[in-house]
Amino acid sequence: MQDTQIVQAMWGGILFGSVYGLMALGLTLVWGAVRLLNLAHGAIFVVGAYAAYWVVASLHLPILVALPFGVLAAAVFAYLMHLVFIRPVIGKPGFDNATLIATVGISISVSAAALLIFNPEYKVVPPVLSDSTIVAGVQITYQGLLVIGTSLALFAIVHLFLTYTRQGMAIRAVSQQTEAASLMSIPVVQTYGIVIAISGALAGLAGVLLSPFFFLNPQSGFNPMIQALIVTIFGGLGSIRGALVAGFVLGVFESFVEVFYGVSWALPGVFILIIVMLIVRPNGLFGIGEVRRL
Amino acid sequence: MLEVRGLVAGYAGSEVLHGIDLVVNDGEGVVVLGPNGHGKTTLLRAITGLLPPTAGQVLLNGRDITRWRADIIAAAGVVHIPQGDLLFPEMTVHENLLMGAYHGPTWAERSVRLGRVYELFPWLKERGGQLARSLSGGERRMLALARGLMSKAQILLIDEPSLGLAPLTTQQIYATIQTVKEGGMALLLADENANHVADLADRVYLLETGMLVREGPAQELLNDNALLESYLG
């Protein structure tokens, strides 16, 4: 075992762990408040990334302009998804089935639309920071540090928002006791929309910041979403702390498996870990347990 | 202030309330007495929008609020303290209280309201940082009441304040409600125990199988033991 390999595994693990966490944060927020398993989360990631790509490639504007645009586009897209597909079925008996099918449908549609609008060629989204440094023989990109820092900062911001602001507290109130929330004059369905838009913004940001590490294509959101789903379940559906901890645990675990046993073991390794986890703690690390909805 | 006309409501095809007519005047304490399972909770839920009524009207100061959304009815000042308390379990006592003042205009004066609630329930102040789920049954009931009082209520609808409580706590709860009423608050109380509500009630309705079968001044009805016996058992 060489130092370089260990540093390599740690770096990759922390970098991807922070992105998994960021994606999972959005999923877990939506699950906690709306009890919606948003399988379009990866599609929203892609919407953000392509929106930023479009600003850079077609409008020839710098990535620092494209980044907020991508985030905004993803949030708006998520909110529209709420208006058109989620809101009409809230409180109806078929909510789970309807939203599962709708969100899968949205994912497929977004991929198809991206293919039609932008053609299947892989796109390059420029990084915000392009320099890098070498630590123990491993290339540490500044963009990677930016991703990690942004992700941690967003966890802190979301936590502060939920703890100290009127709107954030209302989101927690809706998550914990929907009926009482409406008796406190909290507009429940509108709150759902806000949570979904916030979650969309987080996915969009992840999309714009992560795309420079790969080439962007219409399926780019799939892997981050699967990882985020695993992280969310591992950390406990609805738990923010769980998303943060599980993101890094899974990211680092996957990265070590990859470095020491080869890439082909990475995903099976993660699945073995989660199966063991679910046997030991069925609700995940910090799960919130039972389901209730408006 | 609050008027209910011909209210019909129920769950999934089974009608529970068969046309309720009821009035609560400004500052009045009205009690709906009835045994368990005869529709007291359904009545309060239908008034405050948790269960949209199938027929009839609910008027607040003459304005039709039937089928308004629950949060809008609450914002209009009809505040429902539900059965089972429905606290926010993973929020602190302090946060639960703040949520009671969520509505915009009330939020702006939340500190003043918090001060008033702490006068009624001094222990809440010391326990502000405690999670609601860690409270005892009586404490929860008081917090639910206090949370309701954080709002700008014109009328409080309280569902069985004594349910599941020890006698001593029950006394405290009713004494507190009495204090609130003396402050001029209109009350609509659903209860099954005539003894509990004797001090609070100005007028009483008797509810039986989803219909109001008797109405009259509290003095008269609550002292008619034969009548109460036949309805409440």
Which domains does chain A possess?
Answer: 3-280 (1.10.3470)
Say which residues have a Cβ less than 8 Å from residue A157's Cβ, sequence separation at least 6: none
Task: Provide the shortest C-alpha distance from residue A202 to chain B (in Å).
Answer: 24
- The most confident of A43-52, A250-259, A279-288, B219-228, by mean pLDDT: A43-52
Which residues of chain B lie closer than 8 angstroms to A166, CB-CB?
98, 102, 107
Q: How many CB atoms lie within 10 A of CB B168?
A: 9
> ∠B8-B10-B11 over CA atoms, to 5°?
160
Output the average pLDDT for chain B.
92
Mean pLDDT of A120-131: 88
Mutate to test the interface with B, among A87, A177, A190 (most CBs of B within 10 A): A177
Domain boundaries, chain B: 2-232
User: Nearest-CA neighbor of B98 among B78, B73, B118?
Assistant: B118
Nearest to B90 by CA among A177, A178, A245, A24: A177
**Chain B residues within 8 A of A187 when measuring between CB atoms:** 69, 71
- Is residue A39 within 8 A of residue A225, CB to CB? The reply is yes
| Contact yes or no for A182 and B71 at CB 8 A | yes
pLDDT at A292 over 70: no
Contacts of B80 in chain A (CB under 8 A): 183
Among chain A residues, the shortest Cα distance to B95 is held by: A169
Is it true that domain B2-232 has CATH number 3.40.50.970? Answer: no
Q: In this complex, which of A173, A179, A188 lies closest to B99 when CB atoms are compared?
A: A173
Interface test with A, best of B85, B102, B145, B151 (most A CBs within 10 A): B102
- The confidence score (pLDDT) of residue B233 equals 67
d(CA B117, CA B11): 36
Chain A interface, mutation test: which of B71, B90, B110, B131, most A Cβ atoms within 10 Å? B71
Write out the two tokens for B210.
Answer: 């989803």
pLDDT at residue A294, as a whole number: 41
Helices (H), B82-165: 93-100, 104-108, 110-120, 122-126, 137-149
**Confidence grade of residue B199 (pLDDT, cut at 50, 70, 90):** confident
- Whether B126 has a pLDDT exceeding 80, the answer reads yes
Instruction: Find, among A169, A264, A5, the residue nearest to B92 by Cα.
Output: A169
Least confident of B35-39, B63-67, B181-185: B35-39
Pairing of strands B14-24, B63-64: unpaired
Most confident of A2-16, A177-191, A234-248: A177-191
- Hey, what amino acid is at B71? D
Which stretches of chain B sit within 8 Å of chain A by CB? Answer: 48-50, 69-72, 74-75, 79-80, 82, 86-91, 95, 98-100, 102-103, 107, 147, 151
Predicted TM-score of the model (pTM):
0.91
- pLDDT score of A289: 55
Contacts of B192 (CB under 8 A, 6+ apart): B33, B34, B35, B36, B40, B160, B232
Is the pLDDT at A128 greater than 60, yes or no?
Answer: yes
Question: Nearest CA of chain B to the CA of A55: how many Å?
Answer: 38
> Distance between CA atoms of A39 and A207, rounded to whole angstroms?
15
Q: Which residues of A touch B87 (CB under 8 A)?
A: 177, 180
Q: What is the pLDDT of residue A293?
A: 43
Angle between helices A63-81 and A95-118 in degrees, nearest 10: 140
CB contact under 8 A, B74 and A185: yes
Give the best residue of A162, A172, A184, A286 to mutate against chain B (max B CB count within 10 A): A184
CA–CA distance, B136 with B155 (Å, rounded to integer)? 27
Interface of A with B (CB under 8 A): 166, 169-170, 172-173, 176-177, 179-188
Whether A179 sits inside 8 A of B75 (CB atoms) is: no
pLDDT digits (tens, 9 = 90+) for A85-98: 999 999 888 899 99
Helices (H) and strands (E) in chain A, counts: 11, 2
Q: What percent of chain B has pLDDT over 70?
A: 100
* Mean pLDDT score, A28-54: 95
- Are the Cβ atoms of B151 and A180 closer than 8 angstroms? no
Cα angle vertex A98, ends A94, A104, to 5°?
155
β-bridge pairing B29-33 and B186-191: parallel
Of chain A, the percentage scoring pLDDT greater than 90 comes to 68
- Judge whether A135 and A5 are in contact, CB under 8 Å: no
Of A181, A183, A187, the CB nearest to B80: A183
pLDDT digit string, tens, across residues B51-69: 999 999 999 999 999 989 9
How far, CA to CA in Å, does B209 sit from each of B34, B133, B194?
9, 34, 18
CB A140 within 8 A of CB A2: no
